[in-house]
Amino acid sequence: MEKEISVIVPAWNEAQCIEKNILALEEFLSRNFSSHEIIISEDGSTDGTDEIVRNLSAKNVNIIDLHSDKRLGKGKAINNAFFSSSGKKIFLIDADFPTGLGNILKMTRLLDSYDIVLGSRLEREGRAERPILRTFLSVSYNSLVRLFFRTGIKDHQCGVKAARRGVLEDIIPSMISRGFSWDTELIARAKKRNCRMAEVPIVWKDRRHSRSKISVAREINRMGMGILRIWYRINFAGRD
């Protein structure tokens, strides 16, 4: 049966926060939507996240446990969740809930006028509470993506976004990215299809229980290679 909204939550080793966050999300959706489902795409966790999600799903029919025994990557986990969903509107949010749930209403309402609505930490009223190094890498990455794809989008990597179901049904089957580059490939392919996209400024809080282990050289290489692979796929690999 078709739902008004499907919220997809990719999750990997989120035992510290997953139960509290999903229960809060379920309560919020129950108050604000006529029908909904939460699909937790649990991606081979090793910290007990899988058991927590299984228990949540057993107690509530609106919470769907989509488990993988092995690590697939965030992009592949999202794709699997989408093809298991039934919502007219699709909303994606990271399991640690880096931004307020009120953005679900704000962004899905804009789907009456747009095909995809993107959370943006780089819009004028948006901001990200994160280490300076992460901010530097984010700004650098987004500048390169705009150079290659002319998307007009400021923030290509935000994990908070909303989309019409039909748009994702058209784009996702042609996508190859399974990890870090999934969000960028989605936006680049949407741009090529002349989809109507909007950015909504959000306040983003990086998780505080994790320590950054970023290698600048490795991250710059990964970002650059990811952009080049997407550019080649879209322009020469015949994947559209």
- Which residues are the active-site residues? 183
Nearest to 187 by CA among 174, 201, 197: 197
Strand order in the sheet with 197-201: 63-68, 36-43, 3-11, 87-92, 161-164, 116-120, 197-201
H-type alpha helices, the chain: 18-32, 49-59, 74-83, 102-109, 132-149, 165-171, 182-192, 216-236
Orientation of helix 74-83 relative to helix 182-192, angle to 10° = 60
Whole-angstrom Cα distance, residue 109 to residue 168? 17
Backbone angles phi and psi of 210, in degrees to 5: -110, 150
Whole-angstrom Cα distance, residue 114 to residue 167? 10
Query: Vertex 141, ends 175 and 194: CA angle to 5°?
Result: 45
Residue 188 contacts residue 230 (beta carbons within 8 Å): yes
3-state secondary structure of 240: coil
State the residue for tokens 């969903």: 85
